[in-house]
């Protein structure tokens, strides 16, 4: 979503790193580039003016002029101002003191309210709540059926007493009353002891009086604790106008951004919170029901500035990885047991639970420089690797060295790949196995660090070349003595010491016993203990 904006801001900051001090002209040029980047990203003009004005004022102040690294200080200022226009602090749902907590979803048609209702219900269910979905959108064709399907996938019950519009026209059927459905849904939630009620309402292709009146009537009927305005993050400048119209007509307490995984410029996300004064609570980042996350302004600002979002990555890993399996794997490596293909398959399957690998890699700092490689990354490669390993026998997974030519052909045929693919997997796994062994020996990540071995492929020996010979110090100029020294080095014996020294003193024939040396009185207190 923010790829273009991130690239523009990153390139702008690169020009500042070569300067030890920033003049007013440097600051003006940087602010000008930031203004252009924000406008190209469809950020609302008032927000751009407010943002660039605050950045320029702080960049010309003493906090930058007296900083040891002015460029980093400017990046820090931009990051803080981004967090401010994105809402400042993270806000979560406010729950009612007496359940059920009523959440009303409002927004234009096509913004993704129905799918988002299922995503929100699934997340709340995972947090220990018992949500109930109410199908109050009786106008859009098959909206009730869609909500029932989404609710079934999320494992959440749906209250739908009326089938809604089953035709092709976007009209309200005769006898259909969305307000009555919402009121009956609230009574059902109380009687069945659901602690959260999520009401899906109708939308329009544009803002009109009928839409606002219907949403306001449902609001008055159920008295919601939270009114979430669902907005498509791809609509650009219209986001501000639409959000302001809903704020005036219905009112809302929070914003939910949908389709944040799109390739649009993303100005809506940077405009809505600042213009309306309402915080962004959630963000929808994909088509799956699990592609839904709490919106953190500080983390989103870090993503835009290519600083990564490691905290979100850690949270996803904690949800996806089995703690018992991770502990078992750690104990296995610590005890010196071999890392097998079965373990490799298990780790890959847990990694897949975290979601798209592209998204995970994109959360790492500095990945904007590898965006082209990420875009070309084929996630189906993981499926092929999984198929190859599953086509092996348990004995082959435990000991890949027994895989000969005929076994490779059988594995390739069973997985729908080629023997070359099987060979490449085995070579990569051999490198991973060596790395795991080095981790077990050193007690940490292997690499070119003191006390640790090199990673596979880093040393000359790993590339198939002979290990370098031991360096012999003090080689003699005499060919006979030089040959004797090299022969002693190869045999592991110490080379004979030279008969003289740089100061012309000979080497003593024997070393004196330290215990026999008499020291002056009082000198022992200067010796080490």
d(CA 283, CA 294): 6
Q: Is the peptide bond before 98 cis (omega within 30 degrees of 0)?
A: no
Q: Flag whether 420 is marked binding.
A: no
Q: Retrieve residue 299's tokens.
A: 């983390």
**Which three-class secondary structure state does DSSP give residue 49?**
helix
Query: CA quadruple 348, 353, 358, 363: dihedral positive or negative?
Result: negative
Q: In what order do the strands lie in the sheet with 280-284?
A: 158-159, 131-135, 196-200, 101-106, 226-232, 254-258, 280-284, 292-294
Q: Flag whether 395 is marked binding.
A: no
Which among 191, 188, 214 has a CA at the least distance from the CA of 134?
Answer: 188
Q: Flag whether 111 is marked binding.
A: yes
Q: Flag whether 407 is marked binding.
A: no
Element (H, E) at 294: strand 292-294
Q: Flag whether 366 is marked binding.
A: no
Strand partners, 159: 134
* Torsion-angle region of 438 (φ positive above 0: left; ψ -120 to 50: alpha; else: beta): alpha
Q: Flag whether 110 is marked binding.
A: yes
Element (H, E) at 126: helix 113-126
Q: Flag whether 114 is marked binding.
A: yes
d(CA 202, CA 226): 17
Query: Given the DSSP bridges, would you call strands 254-258 and 226-232 parallel, antiparallel or unpaired?
Result: parallel
d(CA 433, CA 333): 11
CA-only gyration radius of the chain, Å: 33
Q: Retrieve residue 333's tokens.
A: 């490596």
Q: Retrieve residue 184's tokens.
A: 């009956």
Strand partners, 199: 104, 134
* 3-state percent helix, strand, coil for the chain, nearest multiple of 5: 50, 5, 40
Q: Flag whether 259 is marked binding.
A: yes
Number of H helices, E strands in the chain: 22, 8
Residues 6 or more apart whose CB falls under 8 angstroms from that of 510 comprise none
According to DSSP H, which parts of 277-309 are helical?
Answer: 297-304
d(CA 73, CA 71): 5
Q: Calculate the alpha carbon distances from 14 to 1, 11, 23, 77 in Å.
A: 22, 5, 16, 15
Q: Flag whether 108 is marked binding.
A: yes
Q: Flag whether 200 is marked binding.
A: yes
Which among 186, 187, 163 has a CA at the least distance from the CA of 175?
Answer: 163
Residues 6 or more apart whose CB falls under 8 angstroms from that of 461 comprise 467
d(CA 179, CA 185): 10
The distance of Cα 213 from the centroid of its chain, to the nearest Å, equals 41
Q: Which residues are annotated as a binding site for GTP?
A: 107-114, 200-204, 258-261
Q: Which residues are annotated as a binding site?
A: 107-114, 200-204, 258-261
């Amino acid at each position: 979503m923010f790829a273009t904006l991130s690239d523009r801001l990153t390139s702008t900051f690169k020009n500042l790193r070569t300067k030890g001090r920033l003049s007013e002209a440097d600051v003006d040029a940087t602010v000008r580039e930031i203004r252009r980047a924000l406008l190209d990203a469809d950020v609302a003009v008032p927000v751009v003016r407010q943002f660039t004005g605050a950045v320029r004022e702080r960049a010309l102040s003493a906090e930058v002029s007296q900083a040891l690294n002015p460029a980093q200080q400017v990046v820090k200022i931009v990051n803080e101002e981004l967090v401010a226009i994105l809402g400042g602090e993270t806000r979560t749902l406010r729950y009612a003191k007496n359940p059920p907590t009523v959440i009303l979803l409002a927004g234009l048609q096509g913004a993704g309210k129905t799918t988002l209702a299922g995503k929100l219900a699934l997340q709340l269910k995972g947090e220990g709540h018992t949500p109930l979905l109410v199908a109050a959108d009786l106008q859009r064709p098959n909206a009730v059926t869609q909500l029932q399907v989404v609710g079934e996938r999320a494992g959440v019950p749906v209250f739908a007493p009326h089938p809604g519009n089953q035709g092709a026209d976007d009209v309200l059927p005769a006898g259909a009353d969305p307000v009555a459905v919402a009121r009956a849904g609230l009574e059902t939630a109380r009687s069945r002891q659901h602690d959260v009620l999520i009401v899906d309402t109708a939308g329009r292709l544009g803002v009109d009086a009928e839409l606002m009146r219907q949403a306001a009537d449902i609001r008055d009927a159920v008295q919601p604790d939270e009114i979430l305005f669902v907005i498509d993050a791809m609509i650009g400048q219209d986001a501000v106008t639409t959000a302001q119209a809903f704020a005036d007509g219905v009112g809302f307490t929070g914003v939910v951004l949908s389709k944040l995984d799109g390739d649009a410029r993303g100005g809506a996300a940077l405009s809505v919170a600042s213009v309306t004064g309402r915080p962004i609570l959630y963000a929808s980042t994909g088509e799956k029901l699990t592609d839904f996350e709490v919106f953190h302004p500080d983390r989103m600002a870090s993503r835009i500035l290519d600083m990564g979002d490691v905290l979100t990555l850690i949270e996803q890993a904690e949800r996806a990885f089995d703690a018992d399996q991770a502990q078992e794997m750690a104990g296995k490596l610590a005890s010196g047991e071999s890392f097998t293909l079965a373990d490799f398959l298990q780790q890959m399957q847990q990694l897949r639970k975290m979601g798209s690998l592209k998204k995970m890699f994109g959360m790492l700092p500095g990945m904007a420089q590898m965006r082209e490689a990420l875009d070309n990354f084929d996630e189906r490669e993981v499926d092929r690797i999984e198929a190859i390993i599953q086509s092996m026998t348990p004995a082959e997974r435990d000991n890949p060295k027994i895989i000969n030519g005929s076994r490779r052909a059988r594995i390739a045929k069973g997985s729908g790949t080629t023997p070359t693919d099987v060979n490449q997997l085995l070579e990569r796994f051999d490198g991973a196995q060596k790395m795991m062994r080095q981790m077990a020996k050193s007690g940490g990540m292997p690499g070119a660090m003191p006390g640790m071995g090199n990673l596979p492929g880093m040393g000359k020996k790993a590339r198939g070349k002979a290990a370098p010979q031991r360096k012999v110090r003090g080689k003699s100029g005499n060919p006979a003595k030089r040959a004797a020294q090299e022969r002693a080095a190869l045999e592991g014996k110490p080379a004979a010491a030279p008969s003289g020294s740089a100061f012309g003193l000979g080497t003593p024939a024997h070393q004196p016993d330290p215990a026999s040396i008499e020291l002056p009185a009082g000198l022992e207190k200067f010796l080490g203990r």
